[in-house]
Amino acid sequence: MSDLGCIIGGIESINPFWLASAPPSDKKYNVERAFKAGWGGAVWKTLGVDPPVVNVTSRYGVHRTQDRRIIGINNIELISDRPLDVNLREIEEMRREWPDRVIIGSIMAPMDEEAWKSLAIKVANSGVQGIELNLGCPHGMCERGMGSAVGQDPEFVEQTTRWVREAVNIPVFTKLTPNVTDIIVPAAAAKAGGAHAVSLINTVNSVIGVDLDTMAPTPTVDGRGTHGGYCGEAVKPIALHMTAEIARQPETQGLEISAIGGITTWRDAAEFIALGAGAVQVCTAAMLYGFRIVEDMNEGLAAFMRDKGYRSIADFKGKATAQTVDWNELNINHDLKARIDDEACIECGRCFIACEDTAHQAIRIDAKPEGGRKFTVIDDECVGCNLCMHVCPVKDCITMEAVDTDRPYLTWPEHPKNPLRKAAE
């Protein structure tokens, strides 16, 4: 039996799946339901300094595919709008009643040492195993000088992290905003401030859509809208990249990562862990399907680990990091050609038109003597871009075959056509 247990930022968890700080972790009722469903932990919805914030209605907009599946949510909800002492009392109860689960207290305060420190101490006293600094909220709070307004300034990131480290003796997670040019800068700042781990990504700044009848961005509040925070499946690639960078860049290497961003299935989680995350946090998938979604996250991840022979999360954590490199380190001599399996081909023509209109005119159509059409890759034109394989609706019908070029591994910096090539000698 594979062990889903993990340790992140020094905190032990029965599995790597925590609820992210968000509406699903706003109160005891929800978190209790989540723990019953099997979540390993929850980062409580962000607590601020009293008086509590006031929210607007409505709060969510969604990004749908054409068949109405939701691939992203955008929200304009603020941090917890309940009094701090109510939240802390519930956290205390939950810690008592669920000793094997993790509760992290997420906090947010203005750029003021006393404010951060006193809030951190109050929250730590409720019994949480760790503190997470919300430096990412991209709407509403940032306009008050909090959230992403702090997270976008590396000095502030380092400062707030240091203040909280000084105030409490439990692990500190610094939660980063993706709304920056280079994630390494705030991640390094968090590391410098003494963070035990970084949590990322917070939501991506976004306008989710426009109501073309009322001509207002959605979600609409009394006829007007604002930008919000984008999350869900659609942001996963952004989060994967940022996770990979923090794990592999020298400035941040070794910093523990609690990965967040569109994790919907066990496979998503495994990908983040393979790129260096120690555990993951989930919000949107739970909001769309309920807490029971964690059942298959746990079971699927365990099955994957069993199949691959990994006994623990640590066994495959960061296993894809070494293979994640800069473009300049890729082998330019590597060559692939598309291959179309005639038996599997259903003759939809999608590969042809994709290549013909938008790629390299490398697929030919011939009429079959028995009727129908045959699609053939013109090797001389095929650059191995994968587009035909991706648009093909039949799995494994189009495959990419490696061509034995008999040429050595060659990178761009060494390439003869590179005008800035470093002299070999």
Per-residue CA distances from 196 to 11, 66, 122, 169, 171 (Å): 10, 42, 20, 11, 6
CB of 212 to other proteins, least distance (A): 10
Give the DSSP H or E segment for 160: helix 154-167
Q: Which two tokens stand for residue 162?
A: 């240091």
Q: Is 169 in the site for other proteins (CB under 8 A)?
A: no
For residue 177, the one-letter residue type is T
Q: Is 319 in the site for other proteins (CB under 8 A)?
A: no
Residue 320: beta bridge partners? none
Stretch that binds other proteins, among 60-68, 76-84, 261-269, 407-415 (CB under 8 A): 60-68
Q: Is 210 in the site for other proteins (CB under 8 A)?
A: no
Q: Which two tokens stand for residue 48?
A: 């601020």
User: Which of 280/388 has CB closer to other proteins?
Assistant: 388
CB of 217 to other proteins, least distance (A): 19
388 is a catalytic site residue: no
Q: How many CB atoms lie within 10 A of CB 66?
A: 5
Considering only residues 279-308, where is the footprint of other proteins by CB under 8 A? none
CB of 365 to other proteins, least distance (A): 8
Q: Which of 56, 303, 383, 394 binds other proteins (CB under 8 A)?
A: 394
Q: Which two tokens stand for residue 285?
A: 């998938």
Considering only residues 67-86, where is the footprint of other proteins by CB under 8 A? 67-68
Q: What distance in Å separates the CA atoms of residue 21 and residue 212, rounded to the nearest whole number?
A: 32
Stretch that binds other proteins, among 62-70, 275-283, 289-297, 319-327 (CB under 8 A): 62-70
Q: Which of 393, 408, 416, 419 binds other proteins (CB under 8 A)?
A: 393
User: Which of 221/353 has CB closer to other proteins?
Assistant: 353
CB of 347 to other proteins, least distance (A): 6
Query: From its phi and psi, is residue 185 left (phi > 0), alpha (psi between -120 and 50) or beta?
Result: alpha
Are the C-beta atoms of 44 and 126 separated by less than 8 Å?
no
Helix, strand, coil abundance in the chain, percent, nearest 5 = 35, 20, 45
User: Which of 66/169 has CB closer to other proteins?
Assistant: 66
Q: What distance in Å separates the CA atoms of residue 240 and residue 88, rounded to the nearest whole number?
A: 33
Burial of 359 (0-12, 13-18, 19+ CB in 10 A): middle
Helix axes 113-125, 154-167, angle to 10 degrees: 50
CB of 156 to other proteins, least distance (A): 44
CB of 388 to other proteins, least distance (A): 12
Q: How many CB atoms lie within 10 A of CB 133?
A: 29
Are the C-beta atoms of 117 and 166 separated by less than 8 Å?
yes
Q: Is 216 in the site for other proteins (CB under 8 A)?
A: no
CB of 129 to other proteins, least distance (A): 44
> Which of 6, 137, 351, 355 is flagged as catalytic?
137
Q: Is 57 in the site for other proteins (CB under 8 A)?
A: no
Q: Which string of x and - marks every residue 344-383 that binds other proteins (by CB under 8 A)? A: --xxxxx-xx------------------------------
Residue 228: beta bridge partners? 206
Q: What distance in Å separates the CA atoms of residue 379 and residue 402, rounded to the nearest whole number?
A: 12
Q: Which of 57, 66, 169, 181 binds other proteins (CB under 8 A)?
A: 66
Tell me the number of residues near other proteins by CB under 8 A: 12
Interface positions with other proteins (CB under 8 A): 66-68, 346-350, 352-353, 393-394
Catalytic residue list: 137
